[in-house]
């Protein structure tokens, strides 16, 4: 196997993680592509062109190109608006594949990427692996009317589950959901988690980290880091902070890192206004710091400066931030859901709590605040667990094994003879030609 096409329609490796539609999937695609490129594969990442200033292709890393697919206007669009554009995305990919050397594997990320990739895979006889990152039926269960994807997503995901040659589940709950909610064949599921960069995330002296951030040396600091959207449950953390201070007498503070801009702006990140109102209502606004988005090179000091990392989303398909916190030897208190249930070892590397229970959350945080030795042991145990199970290097090795086995098995057209439910006619876009589309940028 030599050439891999990674498809990620809305999550580009170039995007800054932390904004509303930029998070774990962007990080996942970036690191998986790099790891596979470092192993000698040629990797092309197909992602939607969302800015007119971007070139058709970018030589991004050793062995890795980014291919910008013109589908819809060349500007940011919420991912919920991209479904009608997948036919154009698919047609462009088919034309690109016509002009290129053959690919050995297509790895689609998210259901819309798989929707666009499936006709391409079947036409060219290329095995298709799919990582969903989030499942529509699970999302709808937790977000109800806040879920803006149409009901047609469920049927599309069902067809993908039935047709894909391999499904990559990110944690045991993901595998269970695929089987119970979509009737997936367990024999065609491989479990490979997300990871962290061991050169980027590692322990550092807490006092030095706090000095750099301007934090008080003696307060009990909680850290919440990631996208600022309702399902992340940041309001629950603020309510727990109030209980930690009022009921447990702990001088606790909360730092919230993330947002759509580098300064905390309610105009750019509307959820911030609601969260500030929650903090004001709970009487802890002066003890909550909203920093805005921070660069990847700054996150380590936040993880290492905190006494505890807190993440209580309603649901979380995997969740990279708890693993990064563990890698920095910080104990994690997280929701007993999805991937957090898998990455955090309850009672060993931190605690698991119900998603919307600030009283239980405050109780577990109080234990860490009142027993610093336990918190240190949990932090060290978390660092060991992260480095044993969740490095991107290990993720890349496991995915490469899955892809190698898939590339050398019986041709997918012989294994899955059913035609895909919607095939798109091939139209070669004028931007594509064999010479101009290689290595520009």
pLDDT for 17 equals: 54
Between helix 172-182 and helix 136-143 the angle, nearest 10°, is: 100
- Using alpha carbons, list the distances in angstroms from residue 141 to 136, 145, 155: 9, 10, 16
Residues contacting 430, CB < 8 A, separation 6+: none
Question: Given a cut of 70, is residue 45 above it in pLDDT?
Answer: yes
C-alpha neighbours within 13 Å on the C-beta side of residue 293: 20
pLDDT for 18 equals: 45
295: helix, coil or strand? Answer: coil
- Give the C-alpha separation, 13 to 45, whole Å: 8
pLDDT for 144 equals: 74
Question: Given a cut of 60, is residue 410 above it in pLDDT?
Answer: no
Are the CB atoms for 240 and 354 separated by under 8 Å?
no
Q: Which domains does the chain have, with CATH numbers?
A: 3-195+392-415 (3.40.50.2000), 206-389 (3.40.50.2000)
Count of other CB atoms within 10 angstroms of residue 420: 18
Count Cβ atoms within 10 A of the Cβ of residue 234 and give its class: 0-12 exposed, 13-18 middle, 19 or more buried.
buried
The alpha carbon torsion through 260, 261, 262, 263 (nearest 10 deg) reads -110
- Give the C-alpha separation, 248 to 437, whole Å: 62
Among the ranges given (55-59, 133-137, 201-205, 279-283), the one the predictor scored with the smallest mean pLDDT:
133-137
- Give the C-alpha separation, 163 to 128, whole Å: 9
Locus of tokens 């990320």 = 109
Locus of tokens 């009022």 = 246
| Category of 126 on φ-ψ map: left (φ > 0), alpha (ψ -120 to 50) or beta | beta
Alpha helices in 144-265 (DSSP H): 152-163, 172-182, 206-213, 234-246
Question: Given a cut of 80, is residue 272 above it in pLDDT?
Answer: yes
Count of other CB atoms within 10 angstroms of residue 13: 22
Residues contacting 37, CB < 8 A, separation 6+: 43, 61, 62, 63, 64
Are the CB atoms for 280 and 288 separated by under 8 Å?
no
Among the ranges given (20-34, 108-122, 154-168, 209-223), the one the predictor scored with the smallest mean pLDDT:
20-34
pLDDT for 436 equals: 34
Residues contacting 282, CB < 8 A, separation 6+: 238, 239, 241, 242
pLDDT digits (tens, 9 = 90+) for 309-356: 999 999 898 999 999 999 999 999 999 999 999 999 999 999 999 999
How confident is the model over 430-441, as a mean pLDDT?
33
- Give the C-alpha separation, 188 to 115, whole Å: 18
Q: Which of 323, 157, 137 is nearest to 226 (CA)?
A: 323
pLDDT for 170 equals: 96
């Amino acid at each position: 196997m030599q050439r891999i096409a990674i498809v990620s329609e809305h999550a580009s490796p170039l995007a800054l993680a932390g904004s509303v539609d930029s998070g774990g999937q962007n990080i996942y695609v970036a690191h998986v592509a790099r790891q596979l490129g470092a192993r000698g594969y040629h990797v092309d990442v197909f992602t939607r062109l969302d800015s007119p200033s971007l070139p058709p292709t970018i030589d991004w890393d050793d062995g890795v190109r980014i291919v910008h697919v013109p589908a819809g206007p060349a500007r940011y669009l919420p991912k919920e608006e991209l479904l009608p554009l997948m036919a154009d995305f698919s047609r462009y990919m088919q034309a690109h594949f016509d002009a290129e050397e053959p690919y050995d594997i297509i790895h689609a990320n998210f259901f819309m990427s798989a929707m666009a990739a499936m006709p391409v895979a079947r036409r060219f006889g290329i095995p298709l692996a799919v990582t969903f990152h989030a499942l529509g039926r699970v999302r709808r269960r937790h977000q109800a009317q806040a879920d803006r994807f149409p009901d047609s997503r469920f049927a599309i995901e069902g067809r993908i589950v039935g047709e894909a040659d391999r499904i990559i589940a990110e944690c045991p709950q993901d595998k269970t959901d695929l089987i119970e909610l979509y009737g997936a064949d367990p024999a065609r599921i491989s479990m490979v988690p997300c990871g962290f960069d061991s050169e980027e995330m590692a322990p550092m002296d807490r006092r030095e980290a706090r000095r750099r951030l301007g934090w008080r040396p003696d307060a009990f600091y909680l850290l919440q880091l990631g996208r600022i959207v309702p399902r992340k449950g940041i309001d629950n953390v603020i309510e727990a902070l109030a209980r930690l201070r009022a009921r447990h007498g702990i001088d606790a503070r909360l730092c919230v890192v993330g947002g759509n801009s580098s300064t905390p702006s309610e105009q750019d990140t509307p959820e911030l206004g609601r969260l500030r109102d929650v903090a004001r209502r709970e009487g802890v606004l002066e003890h909550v710091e909203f920093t805005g988005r921070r660069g990847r090179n700054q996150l380590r000091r936040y993880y290492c400066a905190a006494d505890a990392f807190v993440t209580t989303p309603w649901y979380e398909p995997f969740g990279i931030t708890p693993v990064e916190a563990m890698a920095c030897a910080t104990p994690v208190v997280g929701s007993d859901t999805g991937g957090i249930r898998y990455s955090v070892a309850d009672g060993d590397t931190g605690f698991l709590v119900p998603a919307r229970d600030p009283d239980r959350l405050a109780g577990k945080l109080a234990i860490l605040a009142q027993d610093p030795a336990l918190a240190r042991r949990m932090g060290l145990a978390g660092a060991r667990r992260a480095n044993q199970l969740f490095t991107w290097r290990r993720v890349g090795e496991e995915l490469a094994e899955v892809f190698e086995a898939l590339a050398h098995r019986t041709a997918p057209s012989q294994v899955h003879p059913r035609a895909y439910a919607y095939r798109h006619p091939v139209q070669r876009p004028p931007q594509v030609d064999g010479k101009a589309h290689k290595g520009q940028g």
